[in-house]
Amino acid sequence: MSESGPGLSGGGLFGGGLFGGLFGRGGAAVDDHAWLQAMLDTEAALARALERAGLVSAGAGAAVSALAVAGRFDANEIGRQATLTGNPVPALVRELSAAVPPEARDAVHRGATSQDIIDTAAMLLARRGIQAIEADLAVAAGRAAALAQEHEATVMAGRTLLQQAVPVTFGLIAAGWLVAIDDAMAGLARVAADRLAVQFGGAAGTLASLGEAGPAVAVLLAEELGLQAPVLPWHTDRGRIVELAAALAGVGAALGKVARDVTLLAQTEIGEVSEGGPGGGTRRVGPPGEHRRGGSSAMPHKRNPVASVLVLGCTKRVPGLLATLAAASEQELQRAAGAWHAEWETLSDLLRLTGSAAAWSADLLGGLTVDAARMRANLDAAGGWPLSEHVAAVLAPAIGRLAAHDLIAAAAHSAEAGTSLTDALLADPLAARALAAAGIGRTQLEAAVDPAGYLGASAEFVRSALAAHRQRKGDQISER
């Protein structure tokens, strides 16, 4: 059976219900239909593998595959029957077996246990989800790269502990987003390439029911599904699940950082960036007459950073899901008593929320508006004080580094609100004498508080990030 999912990159798939469009956006399909199809894909692939191994009659694999279609089965009824067995596989196997021709029934579920089917289905869902997430991350990374290049020299206030610090460039901030997203994509790619494996061990991980043919069937099953063939079954070795969860959490961390920065920079009092729709326009998500993007039910004037807020609404839940999967990784002997069951919906939620965050992030960065003039105005409003480190460096050769630091600190303490750094130093008698002795006047001080002259390696870092991004894209193309 084909394993192509219904998801569309860039937020084409919206989940149903009140919150589906908010937290189920993107192409990481993990609903009942997706799970059911993934389990059926596994059963069909197993039938084909058994046929290739000569253990079932010719044509059995095709017969099972033709009927392994989720739309033929009632997920609600299978779920009801799952309450009798603790998982949905026995009911699904019974219905699939009843549907296939009698001569092909021996190929249904032969040698497998319920965990083999669910774990392998989870790996298929993870792969499909990763592909959708990567597509949206690639869009987000491309836009971050464009912002970094466009604003390499756009000066703005750096902020530490939410207070103005030495100046940076917006290009450097966007380059930081870019590197984090690229690193998160690399983490996902490693998991997709090396850690998504079939599960096929039978009742207790020995494949005893298939005799000597068991290991060969496991390899054939992996080939049929395009997944890794593990060294041995991993029923209670959950490292693969934890690594997958950690890679998804890495995506959440990168995207949450972008969204948090945008919410802070979009505050009314700062106003250095703002959200639009894709391409920068205001986006409607419904027919005319509905609220525009960013609107408020109580305050018509508002333009809230909706995409950023929803990214954070997704990513804030990710660490808890990772913790649950990590806690569930300790499993008893040859089959877990509850911990395995705790993984199913947790992993589904993690894929869904990470996919939604990625889709919203592509939207967010695709429509981000940068106000360079406001950035410079906010920096200038600080009166040069964020450049105190640079002024201290200018004074240090004459009076020493610590003395220069203390001199500026004293001037800051005695200066009235709104006084610039230059005026405060020149008005302070002790500082004025030190400056005169060092031959430093207003001209030199004004040069020292010019933000453009104290950007350090910002431009070099931006160029390095862009070069690494281009290299990564080139490597991806060559791998294809």
Residues with catalytic roles: 296, 335
Three-state DSSP state, 62 = helix
Question: Under a CB-based contact definition with an 8 Å cutoff, are residues 123 and 195 in contact?
Answer: no
Q: Read off the DSSP letter of residue 11.
A: T
Separation of alpha carbons 28 and 181, rounded Å: 18
**Structure-block tokens of residue 193:** 């390439």
Give the distance, in angstroms, between the CA of residue 264 and the centroid of all CA atoms in the same chain: 20
Among residues 18, 9, 23, 3, the alpha carbon closest in space to that of 348 is found at 23
Q: In sequence order, what DSSP letters do the residues of 147-185 get, joined into one string? A: HHHHTTT-EEEEEETTEEEEEEEHHHHHHHHHHHHHHHH
Which one-letter DSSP state was computed for residue 228? B
Residue with tokens 């991004």: 469
Question: How would you class 373 by CB atoms within 10 Å of its CB: exposed for 0-12, middle for 13-18, buried for 19 or more?
Answer: exposed
Could you give the CA distance from residue 115 to residue 315 in angstroms, rounded to a whole number?
Answer: 29
Using CA atoms, how far apart are residues 67 and 225, in angstroms rounded to an integer? Answer: 17
**Number of H helices and number of E strands within the chain?**
19, 4
Q: How far apart are CA 32 and CA 378, in angstroms?
A: 51
H or E stretch covering 429: helix 429-438
- Residues 57 and 102 sit within 8 Å (Cβ to Cβ): no
Q: What is the DSSP string of 271-286?
A: -SEE--SGGGSPPPSS
